[in-house]
């Protein structure tokens, strides 16, 4: 049986359909003091808990679901965290800070036999789970919703670490050059990006990243493009916090395309097929 966190119901339904497994109807409620409670139906055999930890409340819900499925009869718990929150704090950047990714991974691992993530921000985070943990690559699917007639396309990563993602989308799309920008982050909302060497004038550009959060990285990168024909943004996790969608629109983006690891209006493709291949 597949059970889902309240923020991941679409992806869980798609995954249940891919796997041909039952989708358990979960009840989500809150007590007057704000504490949450979930209720799951009876489970036999394996339970797959699907919950992106897009908020602190979603983290709590995930831990409750893991516990509830065991109470309901599951003999094995597989946890799918399509978007793993706090994965970007994968080290203590300043004195006194936690390695938040490790704290979250330990909590999640305490209630499961196995974990799957999708394009987790920093793969070394998987080591903190202490149970078998696998990262699934959904980036090739981001090529699906791109127009088939991109003109002389260039696939750009907004920083060096995103070049593999850009390459993966290009490989799935077909033709196209790949390059990346240099990025220095000054704070949670401020980044400085330097141009890539590729001439993009008159060409269609697809900027690819794992996460779009505030949109600062993407909008800074796009502002450096010299006279592109059209600009598309493709990301695995369309977090789109605060006014990120407006920032991208004002940056002249033709379309924002994401997966359903975070369920947003721009979630044009599902990570379910990629996850199903691993879970079958």
Q: Which is nearer to ligand R5P, 2 or 221 (CB)?
A: 221
14 binds ligand R5P (CB under 6 A): no
213 binds ligand R5P (CB under 6 A): yes
- Least Cα distance to 193 among 215, 164, 170, 171 occurs for 215
Q: How far is the CB of 21 from ligand R5P (least distance, A)?
A: 32
Residues 56-95 binding ligand R5P (CB under 6 A) are: 88
Q: How far is the CB of 71 from ligand R5P (least distance, A)?
A: 36
Q: How far is the CB of 50 from ligand R5P (least distance, A)?
A: 22
217 binds ligand R5P (CB under 6 A): yes
209 binds ligand R5P (CB under 6 A): yes
Tell me the catalytic residues: 183
Return the residue of 214, 259, 261, 267 that touches ligand R5P, per CB under 6 A: 214
216 binds ligand R5P (CB under 6 A): yes
**Among 56-64, 97-105, 213-221, 256-264, which window interacts with ligand R5P (CB under 6 A)?**
213-221
215 binds ligand R5P (CB under 6 A): yes
For residue 8, the Cα-to-chain-centroid distance in whole angstroms is 11
Helix axis angle, 56-71 to 100-109, nearest 10° = 20
Q: Which is nearer to ligand R5P, 141 or 237 (CB)?
A: 237
212 binds ligand R5P (CB under 6 A): yes
Give the interface with ligand R5P as residue ranges (CB under 6 A): 88, 158, 191, 209-217
């Amino acid at each position: 049986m597949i059970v889902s966190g309240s923020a991941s119901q679409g992806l869980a339904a798609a995954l249940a359909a891919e796997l041909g497994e039952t989708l358990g109807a979960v009840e989500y409620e809150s007590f007057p003091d704000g504490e949450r409670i979930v209720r799951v139906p009876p489970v036999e055999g394996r339970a797959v808990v699907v919950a992106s930890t897009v908020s602190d409340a979603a983290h709590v819900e995930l831990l409750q679901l893991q516990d509830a499925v065991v109470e309901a009869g599951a003999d094995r718990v597989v946890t799918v965290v399509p978007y793993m929150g706090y994965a970007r704090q994968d080290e203590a950047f300043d004195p006194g800070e936690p390695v938040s990714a490790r704290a979250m991974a330990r909590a999640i691992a305490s209630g499961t036999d196995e974990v799957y993530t999708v394009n987790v921000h920093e793969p070394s985070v998987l080591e903190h789970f202490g149970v078998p943990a696998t990262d699934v690559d959904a980036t090739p699917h981001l090529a699906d919703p791109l127009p088939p007639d991109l003109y002389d396309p260039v696939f750009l990563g907004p920083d060096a670490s995103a070049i593999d993602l850009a390459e993966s989308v290009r490989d799935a799309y077909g033709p196209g050059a790949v390059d990346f920008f240099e990025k220095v982050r000054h704070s949670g909302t401020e980044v400085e990006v330097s141009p890539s060497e590729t001439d993009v004038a008159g060409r269609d550009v697809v900027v690819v990243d794992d996460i779009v959060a505030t949109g600062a990285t993407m909008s800074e990168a796009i502002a450096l493009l010299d006279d592109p024909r059209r600009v598309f943004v493709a990301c695995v996790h369309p977090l789109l916090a605060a006014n990120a969608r407006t920032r991208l629109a004002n940056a002249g983006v033709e379309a924002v395309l994401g997966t359903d690891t975070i369920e947003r209006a721009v979630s044009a493709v599902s990570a379910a097929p990629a996850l199903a291949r691993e879970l079958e």
